[in-house]
Amino acid sequence: MAPVPYPNSRPASFSLLSRLETRGEWAGFGQPEGLRRLFGVNICDMGWNEALTYVETISNLRLNARALSFVDGRTTLRLSTSAESRAVLGNRILLPASRTLAFAARLKADGPLKTSFEAGAFVDALLTYVPQCRVALVGVNAARLDATRERLSAHAPWHAFSVLSAVNLGSGIAGAPDLVIADALGYDEELRFEQALSLRHNGLIIMAGGAFDRRNS
């Protein structure tokens, strides 16, 4: 896989979006131009800088929980066949992450997608891109959580990383994290995590099982 094109600097402004007030609310919030309609949902058809800026901006809103998913081949099939799944996934930020979705986009009149995002590479890039923050890693496998915390702490040491077992979500999330990264493996687990975390977190929840597969590589 080619190296991730990490941005050299944060853009001074993000003209695709409406202005963000200092109190953290949208003023006349509109949809960014980089969203593309496929299978009845909005897919982020953006380059790396655009996607990172968009995700960071949404994360900073902190009005309510918002999940982000990577549309792999299985998710693409689910979107094409299940109205219930489209209703759920349509409320998330969706990043393209499969050849199946790329092929479907090519069949549309608008042409191919700008790029594809692998979950682990995007998480690494986002943590490089955003300022210092508190990041909670959530999952059911303690070994994967600890290994990922160690790797990400070395990758972006200015962030404060914590781990939380998914079985303990009922007791809340300690430390009021700015960002949650969930080791969700498959749609059903993503749905369970989203429902539990949304009651206890008002920021971004990244469904990125692939980020936990990178280990220390």
Per-residue pLDDT of 48-88, as tens digits, reads 999 999 999 988 887 778 899 999 989 999 999 999 999 99
Core vs surface per residue 147-171: b (16+ CB within 10 A) or e: ebbebbeeebeebebebbebeebee
Q: Which of 59, 39, 7, 83 has the alpha carbon at shortest distance from 181?
A: 59
Farthest-apart Cα atoms in the chain, separation = 49
Q: Is the pLDDT of residue 14 over 50?
A: no
Torsion from C-alpha of 31, 120, 10, 19, nearest 10 degrees: 20
CB atoms within 10 A of CB 197: 23
User: What pTM, to 2 d.p., does this model score?
Assistant: 0.82
pLDDT tens figures, 188-209: 888 988 888 877 777 899 999 8
